[in-house]
Amino acid sequence: GEEVAQTPKHLVRGEGQKAKLYCAPIKGHSYVFWYQQVLKNEFKFLISFQNENVFDETGMPKERFSAKCLPNSPCSLEIQATKLEDSAVYFCASSQSTHISGNTIYFGEGSWLTVV
Amino acid sequence: DAKTTQPPSMDCAEGRAANLPCNHSTISGNEYVYWYRQIHSQGPQYIIHGLKNNETNEMASLIITEDRKSSTLILPHATLRDTAVYYCIVPRPLTGGGNKLTFGTGTQLKVEL
């Protein structure tokens, strides 16, 4: 597609439940990025992929967060045993290259996760 | 990423040009300057990017100083819909390829009647 598509737009989970978010990158884009934004504050980089391979996961809280990009499937970000502090908007982005110089990263509209 | 400094907020009258400054004094010779904006809590929207020369597209103009230590994003005729947080970003290429955008706190632009 011509845009980064994220689903669901809104998700409510009770504390301790699992949450799974999906992202379909722009067609032809090999690189996918996940960011977390809590309460309109600064964006936190979580993880990036080159096709199905993890490229950079320095921002991932590994104990409860996991992500995948499998061939012919939307990418996913999964949070096991959600906590109140996981309430945030999760943005997915894609680009033709992670070598950003001269390239552009395009963002989806985000998935709002509310943990109650 | 190269550190960028932006004013936390600016006001602009509708129909006037909005000039948003950004300092990036530690920028390296091969690093681009990118501008994004976020309207309410929507996804960040790409605006423009440049390396050395001034750039213009349908959304905005980007003026980069000759020493590249600062730049200005210009919205020539601001409208109420341009009210947003504007982010100036200098992503740093990593050895071996790849980098990522690191967002700061940006400039909250408020366009008023």
| pLDDT tens column, A44-80 | 999 999 899 998 888 899 899 999 999 989 999 999 9
Whether residue A86 contacts residue A79, with contact meaning beta carbons closer than 8 Å, is answered with yes
Q: How many CB atoms lie within 10 A of CB B46?
A: 18
Model confidence pLDDT, tens digit, residues B3-52: 899 999 999 999 999 999 999 999 888 888 999 999 988 999 999 999 99
Residues on chain B touching A35 (C-beta within 8 angstroms): 103
Q: Tokens 């996918």 identify what position? A: A32
Give the model confidence (pLDDT) of B61-105 as tens digits: 999 999 999 999 999 999 999 999 999 998 876 555 566 788 888
Model confidence pLDDT, tens digit, residues B12-22? 999 999 999 99
Residue A44's pLDDT is 92
Res A39: pLDDT: 83
Q: How far is B14 from chain A (nearest CA, A)?
A: 25
- Is B86 touching A (CB cutoff 8 A)? no
Interface touch A101/B91, C-beta < 8 Å:
yes
Share of chain A above pLDDT 90, in %: 72
Give the chain B residue nearest A6 (alpha carbons).
Answer: B43
Judge residue B15's burial from the number of C-beta atoms within 10 Å of its C-beta, 0-12 exposed, 13-18 middle, 19 or more buried: exposed
Query: Which of A56, A89, A106 is facing B98, going by the closest CB pair?
Result: A56
Query: Residue A63, exposed/middle/buried by CB under 10 A (0-12, 13-18, 19+)?
Result: exposed
Query: Does residue B96 belong to the interface with chain A, where contact is any CB pair within 8 Å?
Result: no
| Matching residue, tokens 């996940």 | A34
